[in-house]
Amino acid sequence: MDELDELLERNRHWAESVKLGDPEFFRQLSQQQNPRYLWIGCSDSRVPANQILGLRPGEIFVHRNVANVVVHADLNCLSVLQFAIDVLKVEHIMLVGHYGCGGVRAVLDGARLGLVDNWLRHVGDVLQKHRDVFGGIDTASMQHARLCELNVIEQVVNICQTTIVQDAWERGQKLAVHGLVYSLFDGRLRDLGITTTQHGALADSYARALARLGAARGAD
Ligand code: CO
């Protein structure tokens, strides 16, 4: 049996087991999707949105790219954001980074991986912006963790500054933007405390989240 056959066989088993638990599951889900959450995360195979949150198909809308970056000129990510907010009316956007991110590590190491280096420049910009923080961190692993966290915080800012989110808040739509980081080591998500729910609150939540990281660094 080749690899694809094996995957198709797995799929058949999965579909049958879901149907066994809920004979109407696929019929109902095929009518419409009604997710309350949008997940923007890293493409890393170890960070699958549904499994981590224990959610079933239909419960979370997902966009993933290398190093969970939100760029204002990225039509792909912006389209996901716009559809999720304007059409699906999700109430929570979760920007989820993860410790041990290879993209973030490549930036710190100055590694050359190819075309993806150009994409990772956005993480390089985060490093540059917070350059002063890194001098006070002794180990490479702690620097890596800190850049993963700072990258989440900066991408949350990018989400909040899109016209899509700004317009949603302007018209009074209920929408919270969260920044979280996932640990490959214990499977847990950590809230970075930058949750923003309204126009004009971003500067405060950004400052609070950065201050929290500072406090955490002092406690290390
Ligand atoms: Co990653």
Furthest-apart CA atoms within the chain: distance in Å: 58
Tokens of 81: 């954001």
148 labelled catalytic = no
Q: Which residues surround ligand 1, an ion (CB under 5 A)?
A: 42, 44, 101
190 labelled catalytic = no
Can you tell me the distance from the alpha carbon of 39 to that of 93, in angstroms, rounded to the nearest whole number? 6
| Domain map (residue ranges) of the chain | 1-31, 33-219
Q: What is the pLDDT along the chain (220 residues), one digit of tens a residue?
A: 699 999 999 999 999 999 999 999 999 999 989 999 999 999 999 999 999 999 999 999 999 999 999 999 999 999 999 999 999 999 999 999 999 999 999 999 999 999 999 999 999 999 999 999 988 898 999 999 999 999 999 999 999 999 999 999 999 999 999 999 999 999 999 999 999 999 899 999 999 999 999 855 443 3
98 labelled catalytic = yes
Q: What is the CATH architecture of 33-219?
A: 3-Layer(aba) Sandwich (3.40)
Can you tell me the distance from the alpha carbon of 175 to that of 7, in angstroms, rounded to the nearest whole number? 38
Tokens of 117: 């280096």
Cα–chain center distance at 104: 14
Name the pTM for this structure: 0.94
Centre of ligand 1 from the C-alpha of residue 195, in Å: 21
